[in-house]
Amino acid sequence: MSGPQGQEQAPVSQEPERIPVGQAVFDQIFLLFMLSLVLSFVLYNLWGLIELLNLPIAPY
C-alpha cells in the first residue's frame, strides 16, 4: 500500500506508546497537589530544624 506521492507507509505498531513519568505526574492534578504539599512540608520543616540547631545557647 502506498501513501501520497508513492511513499511507503510504516506499519502500525500494536504496542501502546509509553508515557514519560513527568507527563504522567503533570496529567494527574491530585498527585501533583499532594506532591507539592509533601515537598513544601518537608522543606520548611527541614529548614526550621536547621535554623533551631544553629541558634546559640541563650545566656542565663
Q: Is residue 20 part of a domain?
A: no
Task: Show the CA angle centred on residue 30, arms to residues 25 and 34, nearest 5°.
Answer: 85
Residue 18 vs residues 1, 15, 24, 27: alpha-carbon distances, Å: 28, 9, 10, 14
Q: Is residue 17 part of a domain?
A: no
- What is the Cα–Cα distance from 58 to 37, expressed in whole angstroms? 34
Is the pLDDT higher at 7 or at 59?
59
Residue 45 is part of which domain span? 28-55
Q: Is residue 48 part of a domain?
A: yes
Domains in the chain, number: 1
Tens of pLDDT, residue by residue over 4-58, are 666 677 666 688 899 898 888 889 999 989 999 999 999 999 999 999 999 998 8
Q: Is residue 12 part of a domain?
A: no
Can you give the pLDDT at residue 11? 65
Q: Is residue 34 part of a domain?
A: yes
Residue 58 vs residues 50, 55: alpha-carbon distances, Å: 17, 9
